[in-house]
Amino acid sequence: MTTFALLLTSAGFASQSPGSALQFARALLQLGHSIDHIFLYQDAVLLASNQIDLPADEPDISAELAEFCQRQQIPLLFCVTAAEKRGLVSETVPARNGYIGAGLAEFAMRQSNVDKLVQF
C-alpha cells in the first residue's frame, strides 16, 4: 500500500485539474492506497474561497472535494499566503467549510509521511 499526497496548482474553475484530482483520489482509495493530504497552492486556492457562487447547472467541484475529504478524513489544506495574495481569505473572510489554512512549511513537513506526491 502506497501513501500519496496530492498537490493542486491550477485554477479551480478554469481547468479540469480539480476534477481529475478528485477522480484520482477516489481511484487510489478503491485500490487500497491512502492519501495523507491534499494541498492547494497557487491558483488552486480559489477552491477555498467562501465567495463561490456558481450557476445551478455547473458542478461545484470545490464542495465535492471538501465533502470527499471530510468523509475520508483527509486533510484538505490550502496555502494561506497564496489565498491572501488573491484576496480570498483574511481574518474577516473565512475559508470555505472543510478547507484548512496552512503554510508551505507544513506542506514540506508532511512530505516525510508520503511515498508519492502527484501534482495536478
Number of domains in the chain: 1
pLDDT digits (tens, 9 = 90+) for 74-111: 999 999 999 999 988 777 788 989 999 999 999 999 99
pTM of the model: 0.93
For 68, other C-beta atoms within 10 Å of its C-beta total 18
Question: Domain span at residue 91?
Answer: 3-119
Q: How far apart are CA 53 and CA 69, in angstroms?
A: 21
Quickly tell me which residue has 496552512 as its cell: 102
Q: Which residues are designated catalytic?
A: 79
CATH number reported for the structural domain that contains residue 112 in this entry? 3.40.1260.10
